[in-house]
Amino acid sequence: MLQSTQLYSNAQIAAVLSGRDALTAMRAAHEAMHRGDAAVQPRSRIALTDAKFSTMSAMLATERVAAVKMYTTLDGQFRFYIALMSLDDGRMLALMEGDELTRFRTAATTVLAATHLARANSRRLGVAGCGVQARAHVDLFIETFQLEQVSVYAPDADEATAYAESLHERFGIHAHATSAEHAASADIVVLATRASTPVIHGVSLQPGAFVASIGATRPDQREMDDACIERATEVVADWTGQALAESGDFLLLDPAALAGKTVADLSGIVGSGRQRAPDCNGIVVYKAVGNALQDAAIAALAYARLSSA
């Protein structure tokens, strides 16, 4: 007889996770991927005239789980769920609302990339966007790096100002609203928008910068212009098996901008333990669209916490 599957809510999940927990889980998952202890299936999308439905899945041998992420897109809004199954006996372990899981895992994966690809002495963060992902990223970057300044850009200047003021109140850090060009001149630059045309331009990037683009995930979206890629000494994707085929940051790029460059997988960077030299003046671009390896890892962590409570 089938047993009823526990459904965990976003609120329950948020109560047992932290950004640092998620960062540890993302590191372990990418190390497992590098060793061959994980398998990932790319996103698949189907659509009607008024709705989209997407799925992607992964297996994580270290946690003995398989996960399927599924979500609808209705009027531009997402509704995420993750199903978690045992690789020991095939049982459905849990069904989880996925909004909080997605928030935690996306920011943690970006910060994981930065711990390897940004200079450890980075002190200035520039962020484009004030939404859920932008805020999650800024919080975890402040916790992880010894930042002194956060520059916030958003099309709505009042929203950017209010968000910057809230950062100063919460963390005591110098934060201010600014232009996209000024935000792009920081040591670490995070792009968390749904833009269809570039938000930043390569001319604004400073030597030694780490640029993370995580918002443009569809073929018709892009956050960086060609010059950002042209100036990059290294380009890294959260997973080349998906990112190269999904984001306009690659698909709308002049092929000449990538000439002579190889897009590396984050798992290879993490698995090799490589660290960025403090005096390195090259520009590193990290592009992420999200993948099910991240979902499997964060869902396994949340389930371990929730099922033992």
Whether residue 128 sits in one domain with residue 68: no
3-state secondary structure of 71: strand
Q: What are phi and psi of 197, to 5 degrees?
A: -130, 155
Neighbours of 115 (CB within 10 A): 16
User: What's residue 4's pLDDT?
Assistant: 67
Close Cβ partners of 308 (under 8 Å, ≥ 6 residues apart): none
Q: How far is CA 52 from CA 76, 79, 97, 159, 305, in A?
A: 9, 11, 18, 30, 32
Whether residue 129 sits in one domain with residue 172: yes
Whether residue 259 sits in one domain with residue 112: yes
User: What's residue 3's pLDDT?
Assistant: 58
The answer to whether position 212 is within a domain reads yes
CB 168 within 8 A of CB 185: no
User: What's residue 304's pLDDT?
Assistant: 97
CA–CA gap between residue 261 and residue 68 (Å, rounded): 33
The answer to whether position 23 is within a domain reads yes
The answer to whether position 128 is within a domain reads yes
DSSP state of 224: B
- Spatial strand order of the sheet with 188-191 comes to 174-177, 149-153, 124-128, 188-191, 210-213, 283-287, 232-237, 263-265
Amino acid at site 275: Q
CA–CA gap between residue 108 and residue 174 (Å, rounded): 23
Whether residue 152 sits in one domain with residue 28: no
Whether residue 110 sits in one domain with residue 87: no
User: What's residue 123's pLDDT?
Assistant: 97
CB 267 within 8 A of CB 215: no
Whether residue 136 sits in one domain with residue 65: no
Pair of tokens at residue 133: 């992902």
Residue with tokens 């996960």: 67
Domain extent at residue 143? 106-289
Whether residue 165 sits in one domain with residue 183: yes
Whether residue 253 sits in one domain with residue 228: yes
Whether residue 215 sits in one domain with residue 169: yes
The answer to whether position 262 is within a domain reads yes
The answer to whether position 1 is within a domain reads no
Whether residue 97 sits in one domain with residue 110: no
Angle between helices 19-35 and 292-307 (to 10 degrees): 120
Whether residue 202 sits in one domain with residue 238: yes
Written as tens digits, the pLDDT of the chain (309 aa) is 345 688 999 999 999 999 999 999 999 999 999 999 999 999 999 999 999 999 999 999 999 999 999 999 999 899 999 999 999 999 999 999 999 999 999 999 999 999 999 999 999 999 999 999 999 999 999 999 999 999 999 999 999 999 999 999 999 999 999 999 999 999 999 999 999 999 999 999 999 999 999 999 999 999 999 999 999 999 999 999 999 999 999 999 999 999 999 999 999 999 999 999 989 999 999 999 999 999 999 999 999 999 997
Pair of tokens at residue 71: 């979500």
Residue 146: give its domain's CATH number.
3.40.50.720
The answer to whether position 83 is within a domain reads yes
Residue 88: give its domain's CATH number.
3.30.1780.10
As for how many domains the chain has, the answer is: 2
The answer to whether position 2 is within a domain reads no
Pair of tokens at residue 296: 């499997």
CA–CA gap between residue 24 and residue 26 (Å, rounded): 6
CA–CA gap between residue 115 and residue 119 (Å, rounded): 8
Whether residue 208 sits in one domain with residue 90: no
